[in-house]
Amino acid sequence: MLIKNLFTRDIFRSIIGVVKAHQLDDFAVWQELDEFVITKELDQHFRKFFSSYTEAIKNPNDPAMAGNIGVWISGLFGCGKSHFLKVLSHLLRNRQHAYKGQSRHAVEFFEDKIKDAMLFGDIKRSVSSQPDVILFNIDSKADNQPGRDAILNVFLKVFNEMLGYSGDHPHIAHMERYLDGKGKLTQFHKTYSRITGTDWLQQRDVYEFNRDEVVQALSETLGQSRESAEKWIDNAESNFSLTVENLCKWVKDYLDTKGANHRLLFLVDEVGQFIGTDSGLMLKLQTITEDLGTVCRGRAWVVVTSQEDIDAVLGEMKKKKAHDFSKIQGRFKTRLSLSSANVDEVIQSRLLCKADDVKGELEALYVQKGDILKHQLSFTNVGMTLKPYKDADDFVKNYPFAPYQFQLIQKVFEAIRKAGATGLHLSRGERSILDAFQSAAQTVALDQVGVLVPLYEFYPSIESFLDTAVKRTIDQAGTNTSLEPFDIHLLQVLFLIRYVEEIKGNVDNLVTLCIDRIDCDRLALRRRIEASLLRLEKETLISLSGDIYFFLSNEERDINQEIKNVILNSGEESRLLGEILYEDVLRGLRKHRYSANGMDLPTTASAMVTPTATGWTGGCWSQWSPHCTTTTNSSRRAASAFWTAAWRTGRC
């Protein structure tokens, strides 16, 4: 059976890799609802969110509810924060969605997904009150003005936009709010349109060019003199003052017009990144949340997402500022955190879900090959437990991937981001872990069952957000005629694990990472890898330290290249080696007592310059030199370690 026929959904379908708040086309929304997976964690989060939300609805006069309106969703990169937030927005709005001739209300997508009737009942109840939902990405809504009012400005902007007022000019929105309050906004629109022959909504952002017409429309609508309308318009911007108090008052006024049970939710994506370590912004968010809670008495909600755990953001801050931030945690009463296990479950259910007949076939395969697989997927010298398949069920869930790949790819993404190998913030790219798994699965889709996905198949999806400088090294290696195609795969593997501390690039691990089928001959693959490593090392693309191979970053390559280019004659080399060993290693020790007969033997630099298979002898130091290509692996390794040590101690 072909791999692509294992899955219940087409592995080649287009999946939106990174969920964005503003992407609201039919396809995106339908897919977000249709393919949403309620994982174990999300099930808990839905319960927590809807229980505090419905509790607030049930107890509208309880002052304690005012403190419940903050929800903080946190988690690592790509763990599904935006998707969860967006699904909350779809659910609460509960609009009818249509795609390819089908049409459904948002809640209907969840009838099969939520097994617990009580929870589903809570969701339906919350939705029935038809709250207003404002979903936005704070970074894309904020203008470029720095300062602590940035968050406040964005909140007002999105609130104004929801009401149909000007988003770009808060003072114009204020005029519209005033007219609306008097019940005269529609009349103003009509008057303006009669005077100018244009639509106010199209023209209001450039109102300064039509100042006279705006003045006329305003004075006619309000029945005021032209002078006072003129004064109002001319001073509108300077007289306008925005404070948290004002914002909360306007929100409350709006809610009052809608009745006691009406709710308004601000769903704000990527707040954590926007705030960063700016305590001013943080304080403002805290104040907005706090005041919205008290002024609107639990009717206005603030739900935010943050890339890192709130404590992790706190950890990055100076002690002095930490105090401010600690208060904000209290303001967000409901804290929902998504872990990497959530990503694994999403990939298994959304991408790798298998039909029942296929499951049986794969289970039978595991019964037959389970022991071989344990051996094939073993690692040495790792700083974390890289999971093998637990049992047949686990095999069915993960196949054609190995369980360790879920842990490792997560680490790879994190590590590459931290090490700065990406030009931009990783989340700005279009790629996510889900997406990396989809692309990797596609590469083996036309193979027969029995294949496994080697780690290098993940490289192409990660490549798209790498710094061009980093990418160039690997791209150029691809055109190097001294290298074979498999060498490039190996180089990609070494790059992927370069910054992951938990896994070392020893040959054993490289073999495991490159296994491409269940029945793979490990010994043959090992030989192939060893030959590849030699070629890559010769091209200075990788280096060896002890028994661990490293991908060389550009800087390191340059240094290695320089080391290679230094031409030393053997006398100089011996002298340097002697100095290093004699002074640095032996620290001036002049003699060695031979324990068998108690005799003191003098030590001199020249006596220990060359390693052999059996030990140290005097002789030609050049065997150790990195230029030498005919030495054995162990002496090359020793040479490399020596040169690294020498270079680190600043001796060459």
- From residue 39, give the alpha-carbon distance in Å to each of 79, 517, 579: 11, 30, 62
Among 36, 274, 379, 621, interactor with ligand ATP by CB under 6 A: 36
**Would you state the structure tokens that stand for residue 191, as one six-digit string?**
């008057």
Task: Provide the 3-class DSSP secondary structure of residue 421.
Answer: coil
Contact flag: residue 626 with ligand ATP (CB under 6 A): no
- From residue 27, give the alpha-carbon distance in Å to each of 14, 33, 104, 520: 10, 10, 13, 41
Contact flag: residue 574 with Mg ion (CB under 5 A): no
Contact flag: residue 43 with ligand ATP (CB under 6 A): no
The owner of tokens 């006691």 is: 260
Whether the ω angle into residue 170 lies within 30 degrees of 0, i.e. cis, is no
- CA dist 133 and 136 (Å) reads 10
Among 30, 65, 78, 328, interactor with ligand ATP by CB under 6 A: 78
Q: Min. distance of Cβ 331 from ligand ATP in angstroms?
A: 22
Contact flag: residue 79 with ligand ATP (CB under 6 A): yes
Q: Would you say 85 or 511 has its CB closer to Mg ion? A: 85
Stretch that binds Mg ion, among 75-83, 363-371, 577-585, 640-648 (CB under 5 A): 75-83
User: Which parts of 396-435 interact with ligand ATP (CB under 6 A)?
Assistant: 427, 432, 434
Contact flag: residue 278 with ligand ATP (CB under 6 A): no
Q: Min. distance of Cβ 258 from Mg ion in angstroms?
A: 30
Do the Cβ atoms of 499 and 431 come closer than 8 Å? no
Q: Min. distance of Cβ 115 from ligand ATP in angstroms?
A: 15
Contact flag: residue 369 with ligand ATP (CB under 6 A): no
Q: Would you say 82 or 443 has its CB closer to Mg ion? A: 82
For the chain, the distance separating the N- and C-terminal CA atoms, rounded to the nearest angstrom, is 58
Q: Which amino acid is at 620?
A: C
Q: Min. distance of Cβ 83 from ligand ATP in angstroms?
A: 3
Q: Min. distance of Cβ 92 from Mg ion in angstroms?
A: 19
Contact flag: residue 509 with Mg ion (CB under 5 A): no
Contact flag: residue 82 with Mg ion (CB under 5 A): yes
- CA dist 264 and 134 (Å) reads 8
Position with the least CB separation from ligand ATP: 80
Contact flag: residue 91 with ligand ATP (CB under 6 A): no
**Would you state the structure tokens that stand for residue 205, as one six-digit string?**
């952002």
Element (H, E) at 346: helix 340-346
Stretch that binds ligand ATP, among 11-19, 99-107, 260-268, 541-549 (CB under 6 A): 11-19
- CA dist 303 and 334 (Å) reads 9
Contact flag: residue 142 with ligand ATP (CB under 6 A): no
Contact flag: residue 341 with ligand ATP (CB under 6 A): no
Residue partners of 243: CB distance under 8 A and separation at least 6:
152
Contact flag: residue 350 with ligand ATP (CB under 6 A): yes
Question: Which of Mg ion, ligand ATP, none interacts with 346 (beta carbon under 5 to 8 A by kind)?
Answer: ligand ATP
Question: Which of Mg ion, ligand ATP, none interacts with 307 (beta carbon under 5 to 8 A by kind)?
Answer: ligand ATP
b/e map of 115-132 (b: 16 or more CB within 10 Å)? Answer: eeeebbebbeebbeeebb
Dihedral sign from CA coordinates of 215, 217, 219, 222:
negative
- Between strands 548-551 and 591-594, the pairing is unpaired
Site string for ligand ATP, 306-335 (x = CB under 6 A): -x----------------------------
CA-wise closest residue to 462 among 409, 405, 390, 528: 409
| Residue ranges binding ligand ATP (CB under 6 A) | 15-19, 35-37, 39, 42, 75, 77-83, 307, 346, 350, 427, 432, 434
